[in-house]
Amino acid sequence: MDVKPELYKVKESYDYFLSLVLDALKRQTLGASLRGKSDLAVLENGLEKKISGNAQFRKRGAVVHHGTLILKPSLIERVSKLLKHPPEEPEYRKNRKHTDFVTSLPDNFSTVKFSQDLSHVFAESLGLSKIGSESDLRFQKVVFQEAKLLFENKYSRMDFIFRD
């Protein structure tokens, strides 16, 4: 947070990170918008539907922001079976069930292009221009190794997913 002290405030940090995701999505002509505190939604058949949920935590002067994008329609049914209806909901949800409220990204959405676009948008926001350089690739390798360990040791564990 030393680099971007404005990220200390919760709302501002969500706005910052989600604006980067929105910019990367726009590069695939996906018109999404920020809804609620931490959702991204698209307009589908006249209704706003959630395509992304996000969360953050702060530790040792850092903000960790993580989010989801639903890639396949088949995942929506699984989401509705695994997640209870939340006790609080954003206004735009309008008491809809998960299956009526959540949607997936279009079939032509490229995760490879999105990851490249998001990396570039993020680097640009920090004023970096060395994307793809040797030092950048070393840094990315370390970040991806750490992310893989977090996934394997924490985020994929059923006791973490289904904790009360």
Tell me what the mean pLDDT of segment 107-125 comes to.
90
Q: Is the pLDDT of residue 125 over 90?
A: no
Q: Is the pLDDT of residue 1 over 60?
A: no
Q: How many residues does the chain have?
A: 164
Please, what is the average pLDDT of the chain?
A: 87
DSSP string covering 97-132, please?
-HHHHB----TT--HHHHHHHHHHHHHHHTT---TT
Q: pLDDT (tens digit, 9 = 90+) per residue, 16-32?
A: 999 999 999 999 999 99
CA–CA dist 39, 14 (Å, integer): 10
Find the domain containing 136 and state its range.
132-164
Q: Is the pLDDT of residue 62 over 90?
A: no
For residue 134, what pLDDT band results from cuts at 50, 70 and 90? low
CA–CA dist 136, 47 (Å, integer): 41
Q: Are residues 110 and 137 in the same domain?
A: no
Domains in the chain: how many in total?
2
29: CATH: 3.30.930.10
DSSP string covering 30-90, please?
--EEEETTTEEEEEETTEEEEEEEEEEEEETTEEEEEE-----THHHHHHHHHSPPPSS--
Q: Are residues 78 and 156 in the same domain?
A: no
Q: pLDDT (tens digit, 9 = 90+) per residue, 64-109?
A: 999 999 999 998 998 888 888 889 999 999 999 999 999 999 999 9
